[in-house]
A and B are shown apart, each in its own frame.
Chain A
């Protein structure tokens, strides 16, 4: 760009400067004619090169604005002609004609745009005008689609066709598709305002009517099926001839009209609603209800709450029914069956929805704790399963059952009560040798430990350890002690006091044969274990006695300790009165009477004979050996009866003990909390204590209050001087 450069010879820029005043008109006429030919389907004879060049020259000479305006006018004129012809179409040909003209217009528009490409690229952007193609679409929209006569008719035709299809007629879908596509090409606002919104409104009233009709005559399951059908149908309809975005809008309409508006009525429908489906395990209907109401606001929560109240109600009936309470094992089995039933419903129909599972859990927890005998019954159920001779043959089945029982266990609020019963029942099982499988017992302990922590099961494990140790000790006794002569063989189980349920120990005079060897054992044991005390628990234990009856039959009797003491007496006497027996054995009378009843009054096991043959035992009754005793079996078992559920007084006693045990636990919790918080008000203490102890039991607020007062007396806490509700920890 140096100005020193030699001036180069440049021809002045020559261009065909049009000085012809009618330049524009001539040029425009050419274009005008060409456009007409295009609209008349005669484009193939036109020269693109000439037309393009004409438009190019116009724009080059700054005639852009005029050209643009002329174009607009021209297209409007053509469109007006088309409009007339569309309006004239009759009946079903209306849409066909509209479609045809739309195609024509589109094709023409492309060619017009091509011819006017230079104007599109140069003039339009700088002057912020609508590009040619878009201009053509806008004009179509304003002149045709939104013209008074066509606008309403178009919408009515479309909606009418849709209605007919809904009522079962077959319609021309491809025509529908091309018409809605036209609306979409004109802009999403055109599609939405001129078609979609009215379509949704009309659909809403259609489905409102339809749902009203169905709900009067259909059962819940049938209605749901119909609703599902309609939803599928609408989705298919949209995919075939509407914009994809309409799908979720029409779905929302159908859901609202058919489901949301009738939700309560459907779910609570008599004889076919949710409750009926639950009772009769109608998995298909339940699955449908779950998936359909997923789309309805509050749908699932309504289902959950109806299900909850039903479960709670039937559960309550189940646990409070006095008939059911007579058989604890059956009672628990029913609970397990109920749990199984609802578990499979949640898995099959509710696609394992966690919130539903949680709802069920809380319902179960609610009704199980309505009956405070449940801890005892569940323990009895486990006891039944773990005893010898149970029905489940293999270990896997037992495992499954125990796992299910653990689920029920989790619902218990008074887990410490369960613990007490479990300990009792376990002790009976272990000591009477009725625990069927050591593995199963230990497996149950592991489950309890996992659930409640090691403190829960440490004592229980102690029981197992005691038995093992006892076995070893007995063996060492026999190995280490010199010849015991004819003394009966004993097998001793040494129980650590803290681990086993406390039993009152009663008096009982052992027969001399037994006494001798047992005292030798005591000496042996205390020799190796200093500072311990051994007490014979005569209310437990068994004995095997070889018997020869008068009629020659020989049997081996398996009896309880008390029964052994009684029977041994008859080695030295033929006839003994009740009073004699009582005096000699020193067994407490209630136990003694039960013992004698089981020896004399049970058919097939009556090794003794009583005179008189009455059921009750009075002081003067006489007992003889039943020399006529026969039994098919060599070994006859006349043991104690199986674990019964507790009688009322026993139950009261256990509960009392549990309540007593709870007091120190509550106090420990209070002290723990106050030590860390230092100052706390009463309500907060109650809340915190409840939270801490909840895994074991639900503490009673009244009891908490009493414990607090007791702690104040013992100067662990003090009341605040100004605020009576505030407590302070005293170090």
Chain B
């Protein structure tokens, strides 16, 4: 079908509308006419113009994925809007935001929004916690995730575990517990058990106990240094182990 704007327009056949409408169109050109006038070496070239119409009803507006965590993550350590600084491990000052910390931890809420000194002090000193641990803790507070580093050793997790317990960040505590559990071996189970007992984590404790009393494991564990420390510091746990073994 030749487009009627083209200079070499072909006249279409009579508009026998009724009949040709069955085919969807009613203007046709006879083959003989095409052959005689437009064929070049037996080849006819058809040129099309294509117009695509968009139907807006089925074309939804693209909404980007959530980015709350990303924006908050950007705030970690940022001075913008910061109303408190933490002094950790002696010198380093880490900036933070009272409202965010208070929202995430009841301990921080009592400390930063309460009626004692820290509520009005611009800088708060934290004792008994390492810088790396605090940074990881802070990262969790703002993003709900662990810091994206590959090498995080079990001992690091133990410290983070204790810090999470201290500052009442329960989810972080269980994340650390999971990490500790993942990496537990016969060498480390006693230590881990002691840690779980000290910082009151029944989930970790019960798994460690189960691991402990397995036939193959027990004989190896009792010779570790961790077991010694367990006996010294946590005699009640030893009793529990003994009770388990007697069954």
Which residues does A use to contact B, with CB under 8 Å? Answer: 1-3, 5, 7-8, 10-13, 15-17, 43-53, 56, 60, 107, 111, 114-115, 117-118, 121-122, 126
Contacts and interface: CB of A to CB of B under 8 A. Distances in A.
A10 to B, nearest CB: 5
B127 A53 contact: yes
B31 to A, nearest CB: 79
20 contacts: A1-B182, A2-B185, A3-B216, A8-B153, A8-B183, A10-B155, A10-B188, A12-B225, A12-B226, A13-B194, A16-B128, A47-B116, A47-B117, A48-B117, A49-B125, A49-B126, A114-B110, A117-B110, A117-B168, A121-B168
Contacts of A44: 115-117, 119-120
A259 to B, nearest CB: 53
B217 interface: yes
Contact of A8 (B154, B158, B229): B154
Given A53-B127, A121-B168, A46 B117 contact: yes
Best-buried of B115, B119, B225 by chain A (most CB within 10 Å):
B115
Given A3-B185, A12-B191, A49 B120 contact: no
B166 interface: yes
B191 A56 contact: no
A43 B111 CA distance: 12
Given A8-B185, A10-B191, A48-B118, 11 more contacts: A3-B186, A5-B185, A13-B155, A15-B162, A46-B116, A50-B127, A53-B127, A53-B166, A60-B198, A60-B199, A117-B107
A47 B111 CA distance: 9
A117 B127 CA distance: 18
Contacts of B28: none
B111 A48 contact: yes
Contacts of B127: 49-50, 53
B118 A49 contact: yes
Interface string B191-220: 100110011100000000001000011001
A52 B110 contact: yes
B209 to A, nearest CB: 14
Q: Which of A15, A49, A126 has most B Cβ within 10 Å? A: A49
Interface in B67-124: 106-107, 110-111, 114-120, 124
Cβ-closest 8 pairs across A and B: A114-B110, A48-B116, A48-B111, A46-B116, A7-B187, A11-B155, A122-B200, A48-B118
Interface of B is mostly: helix
Contacts of B195: 13
Contacts of B119: 44, 48
Contact of A1 (B114, B154, B184, B194): B184
Contacts of B187: 7-8, 10
A10 B229 CA distance: 14
A117 B109 CA distance: 11
B115 A43 contact: yes
Contacts of A43: 115-116
Contacts of A52: 107, 110-111
A483 B128 CA distance: 140
A193 B210 CA distance: 52
Residue from A51, A56, A126 with most neighbouring chain B CB atoms (10 Å): A56
Interface string B154-165: 110010001000
B147 interface: no
B45 to A, nearest CB: 71
Interface residues on B, range: 35 or more
Nearest to A121: B168
Contacts of A111: 114-116
A395 B186 CA distance: 108
A56 B117 contact: no
A321 B107 CA distance: 92
Contact of A3 (B125, B181, B191, B217): B217
A46 B116 CA distance: 5
A48 B220 contact: no
Q: Which residue among B110, B120, B184 has the maximum number of chain A CB atoms within 10 Å of its CB?
A: B110
Contact of B117 (A5, A7, A45, A60): A45
Contacts of B117: 44-48
Nearest to B198: A60
A13 to B, nearest CB: 5
Nearest to B234: A62
Given A7-B185, A13-B158, A1 B168 contact: no
B149 to A, nearest CB: 17
A452 B222 CA distance: 103
Nearest to B128: A53
Given A7-B185, A8-B153, A8-B154, A117 B118 contact: no
A43 B116 CA distance: 5
Which of A10, A46, A50 has the most C-beta atoms of chain B within 10 angstroms of its own C-beta?
A10
A118 B168 CA distance: 8
B114 A48 contact: yes
B42 to A, nearest CB: 76
B164 to A, nearest CB: 13
A11 B198 CA distance: 17
A3 B111 CA distance: 44
Given A48-B111, A49-B125, A52-B107, A12 B118 contact: no
A13 B191 contact: yes
A120 to B, nearest CB: 10
Contact of A56 (B106, B124, B166, B217): B166
A117 B128 CA distance: 18
Contacts of B200: 122, 126
Nearest to B191: A13
A17 B127 CA distance: 15
A17 to B, nearest CB: 7
Contacts of B216: 3
B219 to A, nearest CB: 11
A522 to B, nearest CB: 85
A92 to B, nearest CB: 31
A1 B155 CA distance: 16
Interface string B123-151: 01111100000000000000000000000
Nearest to B161: A13
A503 to B, nearest CB: 88
A45 B116 CA distance: 6
A253 to B, nearest CB: 44
Nearest to B112: A48
A17 B124 contact: no
Contacts of B128: 16, 53
B111 A15 contact: no
A509 to B, nearest CB: 100
Contacts of B186: 3
B115 A15 contact: no
A1 B185 CA distance: 5
B229 A12 contact: yes
A111 to B, nearest CB: 6
Contacts of A1: 181-182, 184-185, 211
A214 to B, nearest CB: 55
B156 to A, nearest CB: 10
A118 B118 contact: no
Contacts of A7: 185, 187
A500 to B, nearest CB: 81
B116 A10 contact: no
Nearest to B154: A10
Nearest to A5: B185
Contact of A49 (B111, B158, B168, B225): B111
A566 to B, nearest CB: 101
B170 to A, nearest CB: 9
A12 B233 CA distance: 13
Contacts of A107: 115
B10 to A, nearest CB: 81
Contacts of A3: 185-186, 216-217, 220
